[in-house]
């Protein structure tokens, strides 16, 4: 796996890569990340079917959210993009921030980059 165009030194990078790799290998076309009482809920979506899991660990949560906001440049806007290479294939991750019960949540739309 090789990663490009993102902040390679950011603490949330490894968690982000794990989430995207799992989604791609499961055939998901998008991922949602929302706060839950137990932690962050990460749900992989294939069309309208979603399968989720809870990420535990406040440090991992905070680092992941900071990575997404910083890398997709979401400080002053709700949409951004992250380009990443996984298994030698380049993907564009279109990121949309929205609010769910007053808290930030994210939808990550995964697409193979056009070459």
Nearest-CA neighbor of 71 among 59, 58, 80, 62? 80
63, part of any domain: yes
Q: What is the biggest distance separating any 2 CA atoms in the chain, rounded to whole angstroms?
A: 41
User: What total number of domains does the chain contain?
Assistant: 1
User: How many angstroms from the chain centroid is the CA of residue 11?
Assistant: 14
Q: 């949330």: which residue's tokens?
A: 12
Residue 70 has pLDDT above 90, yes or no: yes
107, part of any domain: yes
Residue 22 has, within 13 A of its CA and on its CB side, a CA count of 14
26, part of any domain: yes
44, part of any domain: yes
18, part of any domain: yes
Which backbone phi and psi does 85 adopt, to 5 degrees?
Answer: -115, 125
Q: Dump pLDDT digits (tens) for 10-29.
A: 788 989 999 999 999 999 99
Q: At what angle do helices 13-25 and 58-71 cross, to 10 degrees?
A: 80
Helix or strand holding residue 24 (H, E) = helix 13-25
- CA-CA distance, 86 to 106, in Å (whole number)? 21
What residues contact residue 72 under an 8 Å CB cut-off, 6+ apart? 80, 81, 82, 93, 95
4, part of any domain: no
CATH number of the domain encompassing residue 77 = 3.30.450.90
Q: Tell me the residue range of the domain where 19 lies.
A: 13-112
Q: Dump pLDDT digits (tens) for 35-55.
A: 888 889 999 999 998 988 887
Q: What is the pTM of this model?
A: 0.86
Q: Dump pLDDT digits (tens) for 83-114.
A: 999 989 999 999 999 998 888 999 999 999 87
6, part of any domain: no
99, part of any domain: yes
């Amino acid at each position: 796996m090789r990663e490009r165009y993102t902040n390679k030194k950011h603490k949330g990078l490894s968690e982000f890569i794990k989430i995207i790799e799992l989604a791609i290998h499961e055939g998901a076309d998008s991922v949602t990340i929302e706060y839950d009482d137990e932690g962050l809920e990460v749900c992989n979506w294939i069309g309208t079917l979603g399968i989720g899991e809870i990420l535990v660990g406040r440090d991992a949560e905070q680092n992941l959210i900071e990575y997404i906001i910083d890398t997709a440049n979401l400080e002053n806007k709700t949409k951004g993009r992250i380009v990443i290479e996984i298994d030698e294939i380049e993907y564009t991750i279109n990121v949309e921030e929205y609010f769910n019960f007053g808290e930030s949540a994210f939808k990550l739309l995964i697409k193979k980059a056009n070459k």
